[in-house]
Structure 1
Amino acid sequence: MNKLNLTINYESYKDFNDLEERDQILCAKSEEALGSSYSPYSGFKVGTAIRLTDGRIVLGSNQENVAYPSGLCAERVALFAIGAAYPGAEIESMAITAYTGHFKIEKPITSCGACLQVMAEFEQRQKKEIEVLFYCMNGEILKVKGIRSLLPFVFIEDRLSG
């Protein structure tokens, strides 16, 4: 038996103003995306903004459904919108934020495993890492380069594409 250790690299920002202007814009856009969240059951709004390499920004928000498995996370809403409207476009970076009126969110929320897997598929297709910002409004922001840092044992099977 071998005992191994995984380590990831990420950046932590204590304040929105510490970010580069382009990251501030992306975070502000993710906040804007909260406005289209349909979350009447949980009251937990999630917004995503994705910057393509050509500078376009695509927004997504969580869309709930009374049959819980039928809803969709903000990240996948935005990613699938890109796949449908801009096939072949490359993703540079994305910002994800959340809001609820039920309690104060004090730490950045992170993506679920299903969203990470879809993000990994986009990275695989474009052969380029995606930078992800987990943005806590009025709090810490985490910045990660590459989905493998978040999902180190990602499911990728090249033989399925042939």
Structure 2
Amino acid sequence: MPTDDPTSYTATPPSLRNGRGARDYLATRSDPGFAQRRIAQCEARVRKWARALALRDADAEQGLAKAREDLAHWREVVALAKANGSTFWSAADFTAGDYVQFDGVWYVVVHVNRRSLTIPEPLDPSTPLADQDRTARTCTRPYDRVQDRSPAEAVNNDRQGPSSP
């Protein structure tokens, strides 16, 4: 049931007044990447309220309880998504040289970081993946934005990169 508390995960935004907003809202809230980002935000709120509690802030106990409740909810959402077959990517899934898909475009993984992947900066999408210069400018993308992955060995024979589904 929706509440008036804007920080609550059960709060209903005004965009739910029309059908498209409701569809977009529900699709976003069931997206595994969205859930992962919300967990990170909730963990930060728990740490903030724990620090406030240590300073004997009067509102800290209530804030900490609410933050823990939200965190438990989003962990439940992630567990349900995993049970339904959603993929949650992490550093353990990638090595340098693999191929990764972001926003429908395949990139070579230059470096694997704890929270993100380093890929060549998308300058010219017409350049074949195998010909992308790994020393060119790079950028990072978080794991919750990964759409697909292909190991380097599977792509070695295909100079254009993995085929799109």
User: Under a length normalisation based on structure 1, what TM-score does the superposition of the two structures give?
Assistant: 0.20
Structure with the greater alpha carbon radius of gyration: 2
**Larger RCO, structure (CA 8 Å, separation 6 or more):** 1
User: Under a length normalisation based on structure 2, what TM-score does the superposition of the two structures give?
Assistant: 0.20
Structure number with higher helix proportion? 2
Structure number with higher strand proportion? 1
